Amino acid sequence: MFDSQQLLPDAVIARVTDRRVSDPEFAWRIAQTRHRRDQLAPDGKLNILAADHPARRVTKVGDDAVAMTDRRDYLARIVRVLMSDKVDGLMATMDILEDLLAIDGLLRESGGGPLLDRKLLIASLNRGGLAGVCWELDDPITGPSPAICQSWRFDGVKLLLRIADSEPGSLKTMLASAQAITESNALHLPVFLEPLPVAKTDKGYAVVKTSEALARIAGVASALGDSSRYLWLKLPHCDGYEAVARATTLPILLLGGESAGSPAPFLSQLASALAAGSNVRGALVGRNVLYPGDEDPLAVAAAAGGIVHGGWSLEEALNSFAANRGRDLDWVSRYLGEHTRGGIVFV
């Protein structure tokens, strides 16, 4: 079982907080010196981790309603995934990106090597549609603007657009998304748009995962803003995914949804989606990689990357787990495992 404390001890989180207090510009400076890749997708495909759920009050994993509220554990799982060279980068909210930039900077100072060089950093723009609130589908830009993302030298932005036919809030979010796409285009920033048809249920809004609903919303999403030239779509898997792929020429990344516990169903869907159309170009997945039951997040992320970038079969992906499970779990703690403050050593 993955031990997040072994990879990222409490001492490291203490150092991040100390640096936030003593040097608020630290993460910004690291962002300015980070080595970025020359191309967004050198081989035309992407395997990106999603980590923006807590900002929308989505914290449940399995039976644990607050699993994602433990920031040390959450960051450890993200760092673990980013250790794989088969992972292209991360999509997250500003606070998460700043935490990781700080960890990257601390590792550099300690001789541990960079965590984020040539990884894509994509900022999540709208998280205001909190889960369960009466305005949930009115989801304005509550995060950074595209211009701020450019100033941080990020590699793209992400938007969530949920459309329910009976909810006026969907139109407000659609207008905000169109404006953000137009602003991003002017800055040559790639936009990763997650358009989801949803319906109200007793437990809140549920995604309508039919090929008809997803194909129709792909047509709506592709036309938003002043141009689609920097636009990627993030869409869930469904039966008949070929119809979804044929609904647009835009590149599509698969999303994962709630953690299934076992990584096998997600990896199977990923392999199936990639075979559905030439414009299905990878994955932008969070919980199924970060919380894969008893499996190591690094092993699952690398397996997904093998399917995306290496054309692995599902069997090859599952067989790859053993090579990555438990590998280099002491990488961060080797350099940042102790922190002295006020005569007390935190380990």
Question: Residue written as tokens 């608020």?
Answer: 24
| Intra-chain end-to-end CA distance of the chain, in Å | 21
- What is the band of 346 on the pLDDT scale with cuts at 50, 70, 90? very low
User: In terms of DSSP bridges, do strands 339-341 and 344-346 run parallel, antiparallel, or are they unpaired?
Assistant: antiparallel
Write down the domain spans for the chain.
4-346
- What is the band of 113 on the pLDDT scale with cuts at 50, 70, 90? confident
Question: How far apart are alpha carbons 187 and 160 in whole angstroms?
Answer: 20
Position 344 scores a pLDDT of 33
**Between residues 101 and 63, which one has the greater pLDDT?**
101
Q: Which amino acid is at 327?
A: R
Dihedral sign for Cα 191, 87, 81, 347, please. negative
pLDDT value at 342 more than 60:
no
pLDDT value at 23 more than 70:
yes
Nearest to 312 by CA among 279, 282, 344: 282
Position 146 scores a pLDDT of 98
Position 256 scores a pLDDT of 83
Average pLDDT rounded to a whole number, residues 105-127: 94
pLDDT value at 59 more than 60:
yes
pLDDT value at 190 more than 90:
yes
Average pLDDT rounded to a whole number, residues 110-135: 94
Q: Could you give the count of Cα atoms lying within 13 Å of 111 in the half-sphere of its Cβ? A: 2
Position 204 scores a pLDDT of 86
Q: Which residues pair with 51 in a beta bridge?
A: 92
In the chain, which residue ranges form alpha helices assigned H by DSSP? 4-7, 10-22, 26-33, 71-82, 94-109, 146-151, 169-186, 211-222, 241-245, 264-274, 287-290, 297-310, 314-319, 321-324, 331-336
pLDDT in tens, 197-220: 999 998 889 999 999 999 999 999
Average pLDDT rounded to a whole number, residues 72-100: 97
What is the pTM assigned to this prediction? 0.94
Residues 6 or more apart in contact with residue 63 via CB below 8 angstroms: none
pLDDT value at 155 more than 80:
yes
Question: How far apart are alpha carbons 326 and 302 in whole angstroms?
Answer: 13
Average pLDDT rounded to a whole number, residues 57-78: 95
Dihedral sign for Cα 300, 302, 307, 313, please. negative
Position 338 scores a pLDDT of 58
Q: Could you give the count of Cα atoms lying within 13 Å of 237 in the half-sphere of its Cβ? A: 21
CA 291 to chain centre: 13
- What is the band of 339 on the pLDDT scale with cuts at 50, 70, 90? very low
Position 166 scores a pLDDT of 93
Average pLDDT in the chain: 94
pLDDT in tens, 307-330: 999 999 999 999 999 999 999 999
Burial class of residue 145, CB neighbours in 10 A (0-12, 13-18, 19+): middle
- The packing angle between helices 94-109 and 71-82, to 10°, is 70
Dihedral sign for Cα 168, 172, 178, 180, please. negative
pLDDT value at 341 more than 70:
no
CB 81 within 8 A of CB 289: yes
Q: Kindly report the CATH number that applies to the domain delimited by 4-346.
A: 3.20.20.70
- What is the band of 27 on the pLDDT scale with cuts at 50, 70, 90? very high
pLDDT value at 283 more than 50:
yes
